[in-house]
């Protein structure tokens, strides 16, 4: 008797990469997008893209409302984008970076008050904050992260996605702010663990100083962390048969990181 089930051996599936890059402010997160080896579309929610002046591999689209971000997602899903004249063109990027999850919260709150429930009873009129608002907040954030994650799992049509976020510490208790137990993306509400679990990788960005003992000149150096070190949360989903990424990658070049992980850096086939 035959049944409508089949058996396959595990194989490498062609798909895209979905990751979060997070860290303290001014640690160089956005600056890492200046990589000639990959063409990047930056959806700029922060309005802080000046650090990429002269980066010819980056095209920037300012995003000021959740509606604009949703529109961007639907365009990318259809394999299209827009040029400087507003004309529809084929999507041609190796990576879409969204900067940042932290700023996304403000857009979601505004959208809930303005569109989802403008007449909802609140302690302060037109001010986000009642219990029902927080329920909508978690749902919208999670659905959006999952939507973009879905775009990275479409075979030949898959794209690569990077979410940029700020960092906050986790504490043993609210009254023990000197006892840090971990780190996470800076986001309000209860959906932080869900968001961090959806993506394929969480990279932690950090920086340090090197002082020249002869000249006393101080130079900065930067690195991403690819696995947990102490209380700092990071991790990458990899097959145990692949060569593991170093725990720390100094002055990261994303086209190299993606290639080493087995992902394409060119635009997806549409």
- Assess contact for 17 and 261: CB atoms under 8 A: yes
The confidence score (pLDDT) of residue 229 equals 92
- pLDDT at residue 174, rounded to an integer: 64
Region of 197 (left: φ > 0; alpha: ψ -120 to 50; beta: rest) is alpha
pTM of the model: 0.91
Closest CA to 185 of 139, 199, 94: 199
φ/ψ (deg, to 5) at 161: -130, 135
| DSSP-derived secondary structure for the chain | ---S-------PPP---EEEEEESTTSSTGGGG--TTS-EEEEESSS-GGGGTT-TTEEEEE--SHHHHHHHHHHHHTTEEE-TTS-EEE---SEEEEE-HHHHHHHHHHHIIIII-TT---SSTT---SHHHHHHHHHHHHHHHHHHHHHTSSGGG---EEEEEEEEEEESSTT-TT-EEEEEE---SS-HHHHHHHSSEEEEEEEEEEE-TTT--EEEEEEEE-S-BTTB--EE---TTSPPPPSEEES--HHHHHHHHT---SPPP-
Parallel, antiparallel, or unpaired for β 180-185 and 201-211?
Answer: unpaired
- Label the pairing between strands 201-211 and 218-225: antiparallel
Query: Which token pair is 1?
Result: 């008797």
Q: What is the pLDDT along the chain (270 residues), one digit of tens a residue?
A: 677 787 877 667 779 999 999 999 889 999 999 999 999 999 999 887 678 888 999 999 999 999 999 999 999 999 999 988 889 999 999 999 999 998 999 999 999 999 999 999 988 888 999 999 999 999 999 999 999 999 999 999 999 999 999 999 888 776 666 788 889 999 988 888 889 899 999 999 999 888 778 888 888 889 999 999 999 999 999 887 778 899 999 999 999 999 999 999 999 876
- Distance CA(216)–CA(210), nearest Å, equals 9
């Amino acid at each position: 008797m035959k049944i409508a089930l089949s058996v396959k051996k595990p194989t490498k599936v062609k798909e895209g990469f979905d990751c979060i890059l997070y860290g303290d402010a001014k640690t160089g997160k956005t600056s890492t997008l200046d990589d000639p080896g990959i063409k990047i579309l930056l959806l700029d929610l922060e309005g802080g893209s000046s650090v990429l002046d002269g980066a010819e591999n980056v095209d920037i689209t300012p995003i000021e409302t959740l509606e604009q971000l949703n529109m961007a997602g639907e365009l990318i899903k259809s394999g299209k984008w827009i040029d400087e004249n507003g004309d529809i063109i084929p999507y041609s990027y190796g990576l879409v970076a969204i900067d940042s999850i932290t700023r996304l919260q403000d857009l979601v709150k505004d959208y809930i008050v303005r569109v989802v429930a403008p007449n909802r009873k609140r302690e302060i009129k037109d001010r986000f904050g009642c219990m029902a608002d927080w329920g909508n907040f978690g749902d919208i954030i999670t659905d959006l992260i999952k939507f973009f994650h879905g775009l990275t799992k479409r075979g030949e049509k898959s794209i690569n996605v990077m979410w940029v976020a700020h960092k906050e510490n986790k504490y043993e208790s609210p009254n023990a702010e000197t006892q840090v137990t971990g780190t996470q993306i800076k986001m309000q509400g209860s959906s932080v663990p869900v968001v961090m679990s959806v993506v394929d990788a969480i990279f932690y960005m950090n920086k340090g100083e090197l002082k020249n003992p002869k000249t006393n000149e101080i130079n900065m150096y930067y690195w991403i962390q690819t696995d947990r070190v102490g209380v700092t949360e990071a991790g990458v989903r990899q097959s145990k048969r692949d060569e593991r990424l170093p725990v720390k990658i100094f002055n990261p070049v994303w086209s190299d990181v993606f290639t080493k992980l087995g992902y394409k850096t060119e635009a997806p086939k549409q």
